[in-house]
């Protein structure tokens, strides 16, 4: 009696559900059947019962069983998506524009992702071109300034500040008696915060002149210098130090 009651309840629920168009249901059913048909030959009795219930078996199943169950799960997902898309807006049971928009994105469960060789064959190849043979000893901190249309960088061991005009091809270089380690743009066009090995200065790029020294950094410690640096989201210039004798003393910092 309980089974009969359950069957009646299921029938009533099915009757209440909106009926999708027969063409879409036919495609979904065909996809599900085509995925399940070859599985019966590979799966055991337990696997088939799990497949009917829509469950996945524990990790002890065979590779063939796992692949087959995965294919069936993909078919069920595709069929469910097709049924949902045919209901239309507000559960009206009509396809309309919503069904067409989703239908274009659907793929058959039999489709497989492209292989690695196919992905490499379709990849875009970029050709690098040498714009400037500057031959830096240790080039760091490349920054593009959209206001002046200049690409700027420093040569730490070469002790120089470089600027390059991409449009005209003009290259300017300013030498220092200290290592130029990193820099950051400022609100004033043409002025940058330049971190030398033991101090931060305000540097005028067009004039190639240091306006003033802003902050001294470990000038009483030997064997240390500034390294790379950048501005964070709050506009603070963050720099890191470098121990130039770390290969000998094995320490992260000098002194």
Predicted local distance difference test score (pLDDT) of residue 238: 92
Averaged pLDDT score across all residues of the chain: 74
pLDDT attached to residue 88: 45
- Kindly report, residue by residue over 54-105, the tens digit of the pLDDT: 544 444 555 555 555 555 555 555 445 444 444 444 444 443 333 333 334 4
**Confidence bin at 8 (pLDDT 50/70/90):** confident
CA distance 199 to 218: 8
For 29, counting Cβ atoms within 10 Å of its Cβ (0-12 exposed, 13-18 middle, 19+ buried), the class is: middle
- Of 42-51, 57-66, 119-128, 204-213, which one has max mean pLDDT? 204-213
Distance (Å, rounded) from C-alpha 90 to C-alpha 67? 37
- pLDDT the model gives residue 16: 72
Confidence of residue 210 (pLDDT cuts 50, 70, 90): very high
* pLDDT at position 38 over 60: no
Determine the pLDDT at residue 50: 53
Residue 47 pLDDT greater than 60, yes or no: no
Task: Kindly state the tokens that stand for 180.
Answer: 């130029």
Report pLDDT for 100: 33
Q: Are 162 and 181 in contact (CB under 8 A)?
A: no
Whether the predicted pLDDT of 122 surpasses 80? no
Section 136-156 average pLDDT: 94
Q: What's the pLDDT at 4? A: 87
Per-residue model confidence (pLDDT) at position 15: 75
Percent of the chain whose predicted confidence (pLDDT) is above 90: 34
Q: Is 119 in contact with 112 (CB distance < 8 Å)?
A: no
So what's the pLDDT on residue 242?
87
- Compare 160 and 49 and report the one with higher pLDDT: 160
**In this structure, what are the phi and psi dihedrals at residue 184, rounded to the nearest 5 degrees?**
-145, 150
> How do residues 149-208 score in pLDDT, each as one tens digit?
999 999 999 999 999 998 999 999 999 999 999 999 999 999 999 999 999 999 999 999
10 Å CB burial of residue 211 (0-12, 13-18, 19+) is: exposed
Residue 7, number of CB atoms within 10 A of its CB: 10
Contact 181, 229 (CB under 8 A): yes
Please count the residues of the chain. 255
């Amino acid at each position: 009696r309980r089974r009969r009651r359950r069957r009646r309840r299921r029938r009533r629920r099915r009757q209440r559900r909106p009926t999708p168009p027969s063409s879409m249901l036919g495609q979904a059913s065909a996809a599900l059947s085509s995925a399940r048909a070859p599985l019966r030959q590979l799966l055991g009795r337990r696997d088939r019962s799990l497949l009917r219930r829509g469950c996945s078996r524990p990790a002890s199943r065979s590779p063939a069983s796992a692949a087959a169950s995965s294919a069936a799960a993909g078919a069920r997902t595709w069929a469910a998506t097709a049924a949902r898309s045919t209901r239309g807006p507000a559960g009206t049971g009509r396809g309309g524009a919503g069904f067409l928009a989703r239908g274009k994105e659907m793929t058959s469960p039999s489709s497989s992702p492209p292989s690695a060789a196919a992905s490499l064959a379709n990849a875009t190849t970029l050709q690098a071109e040498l714009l400037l043979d500057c031959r830096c000893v240790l080039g760091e901190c490349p920054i593009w300034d959209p206001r002046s249309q200049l690409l700027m960088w420093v040569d730490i061991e070469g002790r120089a500040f470089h600027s390059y005009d991409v449009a005209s091809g003009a290259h300017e270089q300013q030498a220092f008696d200290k290592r130029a380690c990193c820099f950051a743009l400022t609100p004033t066009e043409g002025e940058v915060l330049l971190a030398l090995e033991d101090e931060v200065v305000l540097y005028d790029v067009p004039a190639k002149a240091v306006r003033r020294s802003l902050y001294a950094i470990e000038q009483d410690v030997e064997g240390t210098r500034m390294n790379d640096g950048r501005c964070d989201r709050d506009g603070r210039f963050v720099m890191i130090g470098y121990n130039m004798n770390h290969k000998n003393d094995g320490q992260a910092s000098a002194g």
